[in-house]
Amino acid sequence: MSTVRIISQFPPGGRCTLYARYGEAIAATLGWPQHTVHDECRDAHGAGFPSLWVCDEAIQPADGVILSPQDICDFLRCQAVEEERLGRLCTGLQAILDDFLENWSPDR
C-alpha cells in the first residue's frame, strides 16, 4: 500500500495548508494512509517544506512553484491508479485549489 506524506512548517502557511488538503483528499479517495511531518527546513518539493510525497517520491510542480491538481493526477496515473478513482480525485483536488485561491489569506 502506498502512503501520502506531507512535509509542512508549523504553523502551516499557504502551500503547506494547500498540500495538507491535497494529501487528505488523496488518502480519503484512494484509501491510503496519510501523515504530516513538521520540519524547519525550507526545501520546496524536496526533503523540506512544503512537499507532498506519494509512493516515497516528492511530486514536482510543472511550473516549478506550486502543485496543481494536474501535476498530482499525472503523477498518480504513472503509479497505475485506476482511471475512475483518478477522475474523482482530480475533480476533488480542483475544488480544493479553487477554494484555496478564493478564500485563503495569510491572516487566517
Using one digit for the tens of pLDDT, what is the confidence trace for 71-85? 999 999 999 999 999
Give the up-direction half-sphere exposure of residue 22: CA atoms within 13 A in the CB hemisphere. 32
Residue 104 has a pLDDT of: 80
Average pLDDT over residues 5-23: 95
Q: So where are the chain's domains?
A: 4-103
Looking at residue 30, its pLDDT comes to: 96
Nearest to 15 by CA among 90, 75, 53, 65: 65
pTM: 0.93
Q: What is the DSSP string of 7-74?
A: EE-SS--HHHHHHHHHHHHHHHHHT--EEEEE-S-B-TTTTSBSEEEETTEEPPPTTSSS--HHHHHH
Cα 38 to Cα 92: distance, rounded to the nearest angstrom: 25
Cα–Cα distance between 7 and 20 in angstroms, integer? Answer: 8
DSSP annotation of 90 reads H
